Amino acid sequence: MIKTVKDYREEISKLGGEGDILFRGQSNHSWEIKSSLERHGIETIECEKYYSIIDRYKPLINPLIENQYERKSTQSGYPFDFKEYEKGSWELPEMEYLAYLRHHGFPTPLIDLSMSCFIALFFACADFSQERKVDGKIFLYSPPQIRLGGNYVPDLRKIGRYVEAGKRHLAQQSQYLIPIVYDSEWKFITFNKVIESQKNNHALKEIIISKDVKAKLMRELNEMNINRYTMYLNEDALIKSFADEWALENAQQKLEDKTKTA
């Protein structure tokens, strides 16, 4: 039973959580890993179609941001041959733009994970209030040592840390996985289709975080300067971090009062 951050770190070591491991925290243990695109109701979409859709929003986004995203589409469509296997197997275009959209709430095929087990723990514990009490979960993902490719082989494309995707990307030590398959052309698919195919050994392990220790773990993480503000770095997050701090103080006081009367 995990009761402290130290317990959590020891459990990760027992599971072999060292080396090239990525972590994902979810506040509800019953939730599966899904991209925001899948949560938007789209389980499969052709890459070319998706890129054409997101390309049209650039002129509306650019006036509001410093980094400018160049419009790519022409009358001939999006200028990348998603029907050519080799080209798509080596690279996908505009990873910075996809990561930017992901961090700002637009449906994307990206599944965000963190290089930090502690940041993943924050996201598993962030809903620590009594009203929303439910166990959380940490996923530990290890990539396959040897990767198979080819037609009809569902796989996970990894985007590392070296993309210009804004402050949240850096603060959350983000990396991303993209579920993808080649079926006459490249298509975005669901995470589960990749895992269930067993074509490649994508290792996934889990740690359950009890709802009863979320507040305690959040207090420890806050002492490590991992809180809502340092994860999101905006004004709303700063105020919410103060609200969290107050709520955690109240939770601690109730626990102490309960202990005294026991």
> pLDDT tens digit string along 78-100?
999 999 988 777 788 998 899 88
Summarised one tens digit per residue, pLDDT across range 184-195 is 999 999 999 999
Q: Which of these, 188, 181, 198, lies nearest to 38 by C-alpha position? A: 188
**Token pair of 149 as six digits:** 């490719």
Task: Please state the rounded mean pLDDT for residues 9-22.
Answer: 86
pLDDT at 256 over 70: no
- Residue with the bigger pLDDT between 77 and 208: it is 208
- Between CA 23 and CA 171, with CA 35 as vertex, the angle to 5 degrees is 45
Residue 32: pLDDT over 80: yes
The C-alpha atoms of residue 180 and residue 147 are separated, in whole angstroms, by 14
- Nearest in space to 121 (alpha carbons), one of 232, 238, 214: 214
* Residue 82 burial (CB count, 10 A): 22
Q: What angle do CA 73, 179, 182 make, to 5 degrees?
A: 70
Contact 252, 219 (CB under 8 A): yes
**Which pLDDT does position 120 carry in this prediction?**
98
Distance between CA atoms of 254 and 198, rounded to whole angstroms? 48
Give percent of the chain above pLDDT 70. Answer: 95
Contact 124, 136 (CB under 8 A): yes
Amino acid present at 159:
I
- Mean pLDDT to the nearest integer, 91-119: 92
Give 58: exposed, middle or buried? Use CB within 10 Å, 0-12, 13-18, 19+: middle
pLDDT single digits (tens) 34-82: 999 999 999 999 999 999 999 999 999 999 988 899 999 988 889 999 9
Which one is predicted more confidently, 176 or 250?
Answer: 176
